[in-house]
Amino acid sequence: MTPKKRPTTSLPAQLPLDIDALLDSPATRTIVCCGSGGVGKTTTAAALAVRAAERGRSVVVLTIDPAKRLAQSLGLAELGNEPRPVRAIDLSAGGSLDAMMLDMKRTFDEIVEDHADPERAAAILANPFYQSMSSSFAGTQEYMAMEKLGQLRTRADQEGRWDLIIVDTPPSRSALDFLDAPARLGSFLDGRFIRFLIAPAKAGGRVYLRAVGAGLGAVTSVMTRLLGAQVLKDLQTFVAALDTTFGGFRERADATYALLQAPGTAFIVVAAPEPDALREASYFVERLAEEGMPLAGLVVNRTHRSSAALNPEQALAAAERLELTGEHARTAGLLRVHAELAQQMVTEQRLVTRFATAHPAVPRVEAPAQATDVHDLAGLRRIGSDLAKP
């Protein structure tokens, strides 16, 4: 394919996002790819990982829910919960690439096993609340992705096997869920409700309930009416059993959150040139700034390009002229195809310009739309080089 130029619509002058500088800098130790669902987060994370490894970094990439064929291209036939080397990577620059897919239930089980004595761990693992919470409820994925990132960071620091961690984030309701999950867990663990749930076991709970003006008996009676006695008992057993591991949870969640604010971390916000995706990216960029989290920049995936010097109106007018003569049908068709593409470019650039105007300090790179889907290393390399040389 011939090299494609930037679209003709002019944009406010802006810092480009220099992907290679980011990947090459030894100061970059963790890259978090976030954004709303369906914008190509996982593919972007994988493409960055392949590029960084082939440029000499020792990389581990954590993917959350990759498409089957993308996973296969990274040598991930099944959930492993342990990084595995990706073969077929060019190692000549001295780098390496390990990849893993998050197994959220396994990750949760491991935390329990690490933090409770065997008897207590067995009780938690067998509790019906634990089983449904760890395997099937929404929200757990965010907690566990964050947990796994913390584990990888610790191992990277201790073992020195990796000098760059790249993480994909779960396909949440909102990209912000990933940031909020650990804080929510923390607020629950410090919260009033937990003290009520473990109140029967701890005198402090009773004192606390009196302080908020609610009798233990009244609360228990309401909860029993709501849940039924058996459920309430299961829930209390679960919470009481988890109580011993809570300290560990909270410290780890806090540590991981601090890690996200550390200088070695870079957030890459991924979007598509569509209103919802860019709006979500906007929220995310604002939130990162509020939290003091380091934003590397915005990747706008799937933008359309053309090097034909014809705007949509010119192309359409020319196609209509030819159609009136009844000749050159093929050229007329190509002009219509171009008019549609050029119109789409205008729409996309309007959306991107709106974002750029609102966030002038955010470096940005636009990656071209691929004519077909990407699910092999060659495709990931192509995306990586598109991101580096837009």
* Ranges within 213-252 binding another protein (CB under 8 A): 213-214, 218-219, 222-223, 225-231, 234
Residue 215: what are its φ and ψ, rounded to 5°? Answer: -80, 145
In the complex with another protein, the residue whose CB is nearer, 16 or 333, is 333
Q: Report angle CA 22, 26, 31 to the nearest 5 degrees.
A: 50
Nearest-approach distance from CB 295 to another protein, in angstroms: 22
Nearest-approach distance from CB 96 to another protein, in angstroms: 28
Stretch near another protein under the rule CB under 8 A, chosen from 9-17, 149-157, 170-178, 248-256: 170-178
Classify 208 as helix, strand or coil: helix
Q: How many residues bind another protein (CB under 8 A)?
A: 86
111 part of the interface to another protein, by CB under 8 A: no
Strands 84-85 and 30-34: unpaired
> CB-based contacts of 196: which residues, under 8 Å, 6+ apart?
205, 208, 209, 216, 219
Tell me which residues in 277-316 interact with another protein (CB under 8 A).
Answer: 277, 306-310, 314
For another protein, the binding residue among 23, 281, 335, 365 (CB under 8 A) is 335
Cβ burial of 190 (10 Å; 0-12, 13-18, 19+) is: exposed
For another protein, the binding residue among 319, 367, 380, 383 (CB under 8 A) is 319
Q: Report angle CA 332, 338, 344 to the nearest 5 degrees.
A: 145
Interaction mask 260-279, another protein, x per CB under 8 A: ------------x-xxxx--
- Reported in sequence order, the residue ranges of 102-236 that DSSP labels E, i.e. its strands, are 164-168
**Cβ proximity of 108 and 215 under 8 Å:** no
Stretch near another protein under the rule CB under 8 A, chosen from 72-80, 95-103, 132-140, 250-258: 132-140
Interaction mask 66-105, another protein, x per CB under 8 A: -xxx------------------------------------
